[in-house]
Amino acid sequence: MVHVITPPPTDVSTNDIIWLAGPRLIGILFNWSLLGVLTTQVYIYYLNFPKDPRWNKVLVCTVYLLDWAQTCSATYDVFHWFVYGWGSIDALYDLWSTFLNVPILSSIIAAIVQIYFGWRIWKLTHSRIIFSVIGVLALLQLGGGIAVGIFLWRDSSEVARSDGLVSSVGVRLAGSALADTVIAISMTYFLVRSKSQIVGHMNNVVTRLIRLTIETGTVTAIAAIVDLIFFLKATNGLHQVSGVILCKLYSNSLLVLFNNRMIIASSKQNQTHFLSGNSGSSSGNTMPSEGESSRELETFKAAVPRLSTPDLDGEMSMSSKGGGGQDRKSNLYLWMILLGGEGGQLQ
């Protein structure tokens, strides 16, 4: 294991210890709590979407395993601070395996999720510019995270503030926040543009997606910015609260996106058109007519012409031959694409 190079201060006060140990304890509690939420979401995902594409399942499994590794590494640090090194100031100022769990593993998870969202945007809009910008920012923050890990491995002290470390932290967290902002703005713009040309039941689905996109993008971006501000301005361990849970926010955002397809899947299974959000209005159990469903589908296709991929066009052709049931299937297929699924879930 790495060793502390920069020695801790000699005049450590009780207040210093409180502000150093307290945030770490709170951070690990939030970390385990969010891992529990993530575990529940993963269980719900595999229970409800057994026909998801294999690479979607691999993505979820990879992120989940990385989060477990990050939590175990952070728990290892907590044991050194509060168990093995109880009462030792030197142990409290040593960052132990923090070089791995906070900058490196968190940046890897963030990059995976950000690139996935960027790929979804590209698949929907065919905008290579947006995908390239998101990809570059995701890789930039990943590089910054690896650089932070190297600096902390060389000097694993809480008081270490070399110029290279500060710059690397800035690149990592600012790049991550900027990538999240670009994703949220791009997706929101795309959905708002579609919403303005859609009427009927699908309008409620778009509203829900807009709210979901803004909420998840805002949470991760704010957490990264708060982490950066606390690291640069505060002389205590407050930055470790947001730093140690940042990867869990990304993972949960990904699973929230996947699991929101349950609303659409239940619409198919129950033969209803209940697509409103929590605060939206429901249309009851009235089945839409074939003409109404066709008009909504064609309106959406006209609003988002780039979405008409060959596979999607094939699915639309099936709807025109199969009647109202196939029409609703195509209707659901469009929104499965938006939420990360493929046609397999609708078989």
- For 143-154, write each residue's pLDDT tens digit: 999 999 999 999
Last residue of a domain, one of 259, 289, 323: 259
Q: Which tokens sit at 113?
A: 């999720």
Tell me which long-range contacts 323-327 makes (C-beta under 8 A, separation of at least 24).
323/290, 324/287, 324/289, 324/290, 324/293, 327/290, 327/293, 327/294, 327/297
* 65 and 83 fall within a common domain: yes
Does some domain include residue 1?
Answer: no
* 251 and 318 fall within a common domain: no
Q: Report H helices in the chain.
A: 14-48, 54-79, 89-93, 98-99, 105-125, 128-154, 163-195, 202-233, 239-259, 261-269, 290-303, 310-322, 324-338
Provide the 8-state DSSP code for 7. Answer: P
Residue 252's pLDDT band, with cuts at 50, 70 and 90, is very high
Whether the CB-CB separation of 276 and 134 falls below 8 Å is answered with no
Give the highest mean pLDDT range of 204-213, 243-252, 273-282. 243-252
* 172 and 312 fall within a common domain: no
Does some domain include residue 206?
Answer: yes
- For 103-145, write each residue's pLDDT tens digit: 999 999 999 999 999 998 888 888 899 999 999 999 999 999 9
Does some domain include residue 12?
Answer: no
* 221 and 270 fall within a common domain: no
Q: Which tokens sit at 343?
A: 């046609």
Does some domain include residue 11?
Answer: no
Distance of alpha carbon 82 from alpha carbon 224, whole angstroms: 26
Last residue of a domain, one of 259, 292, 320: 259
Last residue of a domain, one of 240, 259, 278: 259
- For 54-88, write each residue's pLDDT tens digit: 999 999 999 999 999 999 999 999 999 999 999 89
* 282 and 247 fall within a common domain: no
**Which pLDDT value is given to residue 207?**
77
Does some domain include residue 5?
Answer: no
What's the rounded mean pLDDT across residues 226-232? 93
Whether the CB-CB separation of 340 and 119 falls below 8 Å is answered with no
**Which pLDDT value is given to residue 159?**
87
Task: Give which of 118, 249, 232, 228 is closest to 181, Cα–Cα.
Answer: 118
* 94 and 215 fall within a common domain: yes
* 300 and 275 fall within a common domain: yes
* 240 and 282 fall within a common domain: no
**Which pLDDT value is given to residue 317?**
38
Does some domain include residue 290?
Answer: yes
Domain at 145, CATH number: 1.20.1070
* 218 and 292 fall within a common domain: no
Least confident piece of the model among 76-80, 99-103, 185-189: 185-189
Does some domain include residue 329?
Answer: yes
**Which pLDDT value is given to residue 17?**
93
| Domain limits for position 86 | 17-259
Does some domain include residue 7?
Answer: no
Question: Does position 98 have pLDDT exceeding 50, yes or no?
Answer: yes
* 36 and 163 fall within a common domain: yes
Q: Any idea what the Cα angle at residue 50 is, between residues 44 and 55, rounded to 5°?
A: 100
* 273 and 230 fall within a common domain: no
Whether the CB-CB separation of 340 and 120 falls below 8 Å is answered with yes
Question: Does position 243 have pLDDT exceeding 50, yes or no?
Answer: yes
Question: Does position 279 have pLDDT exceeding 90, yes or no?
Answer: no
Indicate the number of domains in the chain: 2
CB atoms within 10 A of CB 199: 11
* 168 and 72 fall within a common domain: yes
